[in-house]
Structure 1
């Protein structure tokens, strides 16, 4: 009798699950949406300085789109930015945020093969190698102009390490890669919670708790880490001895991200207390979608387990694009979960969306075969 009741309950639930399944988008649909969002951003340029981390994330997304789009306008728009900057990084020598734009310079170099594109960036990295920061501690209680010379906050793992590893791939000089690997694991040993498989934003969050008693793990902060992780893996040689450790970290974080995904397909601002932050949030969600879709495409994640989550996430992200192409529900600049206006947008949110779309596009392309 009990078995019959359980079976009946399962059968009753089956249509509900089927109704919730999201159809996979076509590659054409994905690309069209990416272009619509990118066109809105180009028509409404950010007021942030063109070497800032905010813009750097946007450029990374634009370059991902440029590699898929038939038209040259996205790559040309980004190249114009680089030329206007004289191919220089941000002004703070050691600050990870001011190196982030280098990811785009490197991507443009790979396309154009013009040495002047990466020359100032390489000069900056060489200076850091020759004159490393004297700061030793990652403790965020220090003066900011000291602690920010190291990768002492989790976002920095998107900003700087991919620049260093890609420079090594471009030049063949292993010193850049070795520097990035050493500092990545120094930051990870300090900020990563091995029980939750998530990163604290910085050391000031170690003892903070959410309203439900859970630890504070910020969605976009961990999205930054996962996006940085896949970009490092993209540039890391297959035979590099550190690769298995990076891949394990990636898989562990992917499991945590999958667990934290909400029924609406997105990740709310707080990963372990989503009920306290019920608003949709697209910047962290965009980075998670990008990272998980990348793992499916590179066969590091089980397709049957993760692809449905990616499809749900992409559908939810697209639903946050208004009729003009503006991406909404982007949490403003900050360092922890907060409430914000539903129509809020930012260029880094657009970058995350475009990066996500570039990998969802590849999933859709593979689905045709």
Structure 2
């Protein structure tokens, strides 16, 4: 029987639907594997000893707690939420000791997310009491007159958000406190300070953030390119996602956050390497050949969040996310340990392939939580 063009088109369309359905089914089958991987990573970090110089309320652990909260929301096991509540109780729900420093505000994100997700939050006002007292003090005694220029010899570098990492550490806490209390001042302060930092550190040509003012040209990489630190920009992309998670879609500031998020995302996927990782230096990957999982984790998280929330085109970005997630999975050892994490620092550097840090585990867990949602969508 001769096949008419319309009949052939129908067969091709049916085949395409079957292939698409098969691919969707295969991706959805990833979800149990993701939950297992996240659980193993979280359990490993919870069992690991805190290094002597690491406070349980510092940013190193605070970033892990954000991932632990994401695990609690993804896994059916109650043990992760219970572990986070126990951490808060042990910390007496305190945040870091430095009044203005963004790094010492990071831990508040977990406290606030526990509060916001609790069925009876008013019974747990103590969970956010210290954070609110600290932020109220900052509002009454702001440091807005100080310079954003970064000088390691000058005291007060951390009084304002003068380094790009700070955009992950503090703003998500401030906007969560606004959500928890309804006090507009917290949101207004966050928006004002984010804009000041962005105006100062965001390169409008390359659509990436300098880590701080000490990395402005003429300081360059050995290949002559600008120095854009992978994890530093990962902090920012993840910070944008965690701010927009609560920033109302009809808020006047929303368009500029979305614009910056899209600009950064478009640039970031061009920096991904064939093996799925982003190297420590985004524009000079050959100088630091180590597979780096912390920056990669934050990029996977941010890009997946963007797809899941309709800000990024899935056809364009999903392949990069899945390739990045596969790269992250290759960094997980049998006992759950996440390796390939660049050590604490402020610039691109080489690192030991077996190195792990709590914030790197946090990035892995955040990434897993959004990839879980991504592969479960039709």
What TM-score do the two structures reach when normalised by structure 2? 0.89
Say whether residues 1:45 and 2:56 are aligned partners. Answer: no
Contact in 2 for aligned 1:135/1:149 (Cα 8 Å): no
Q: Aligned equivalents of 1:134 and 1:288: distance in 2?
A: 30
Say whether residues 1:297 and 2:308 are aligned partners. Answer: yes
Indicate the residue corresponding to 1:194 in structure 2: 204
Say whether residues 1:166 and 2:172 are aligned partners. Answer: no
Say whether residues 1:27 and 2:38 are aligned partners. Answer: no
Contact in 2 for aligned 1:219/1:267 (Cα 8 Å): yes
Q: Aligned equivalents of 2:86 and 2:133: distance in 1?
A: 21
1:1-369 matches, within 5 Å, as 24=27, 26-47=30-51, 48-112=54-118, 113=121, 114-133=124-143, 135-141=145-151, 143-207=153-217, 208-366=219-377, 369=378
Q: 1:133, CA displacement in angstroms? A: 2.0
Q: Aligned equivalents of 1:348 and 1:142: distance in 2?
A: 23
Q: Secondary structure at the match of 1:284?
A: helix
- CA deviation map 1:253-284 (0-9, x unaligned): 00011111110101000000001111100000
Aligned length: 346
- CA deviation map 1:305-363 (0-9, x unaligned): 10111000000100111111110000000000101111000000000000000000001
Name the stretch that deviates more: 67-76 or 293-302.
67-76
Q: Secondary structure at the match of 2:75?
A: coil
| RMSD, aligned CA | 1.3
Indicate the residue corresponding to 2:8 in structure 1: none
Structure 2 unaligned runs (5+)?
Answer: 1-22
Q: Aligned equivalents of 1:199 and 1:63: distance in 2?
A: 27
Q: Aligned equivalents of 2:192 and 2:163: distance in 1?
A: 16
Q: Aligned equivalents of 2:229 and 2:41: distance in 1?
A: 25
Q: Aligned equivalents of 1:248 and 1:135: distance in 2?
A: 28
Contact in 2 for aligned 1:169/1:236 (Cα 8 Å): no
Q: Aligned equivalents of 1:105 and 1:240: distance in 2?
A: 25
Name the stretch that deviates more: 90-99 or 24-33.
24-33
Contact in 2 for aligned 1:287/1:356 (Cα 8 Å): yes
Name the stretch that deviates more: 42-51 or 229-238.
42-51
Contact in 1 for aligned 2:238/2:301 (Cα 8 Å): yes
Contact in 1 for aligned 2:38/2:368 (Cα 8 Å): yes
Contact in 2 for aligned 1:230/1:291 (Cα 8 Å): yes
Contact in 2 for aligned 1:96/1:151 (Cα 8 Å): yes
Contact in 2 for aligned 1:157/1:184 (Cα 8 Å): yes
Please list every run of at least 4 consecutive aligned residues from structure 1 whose deviation after the TM superposition is greater than 6 angstroms. Answer: none
Contact in 2 for aligned 1:214/1:273 (Cα 8 Å): yes
Q: Secondary structure at the match of 1:334?
A: coil
Q: 1:83, CA displacement in angstroms? A: 0.9
Indicate the residue corresponding to 2:4 in structure 1: none
- CA deviation map 1:108-141 (0-9, x unaligned): 1112311111111111111110111265100112
Contact in 2 for aligned 1:65/1:354 (Cα 8 Å): yes
Q: Aligned equivalents of 1:70 and 1:45: distance in 2?
A: 26
Q: 1:79, CA displacement in angstroms? A: 1.0
Q: 1:92, CA displacement in angstroms? A: 0.5
Structure 1 unaligned runs (5+)?
Answer: 1-20
Q: Aligned equivalents of 1:340 and 1:89: distance in 2?
A: 29
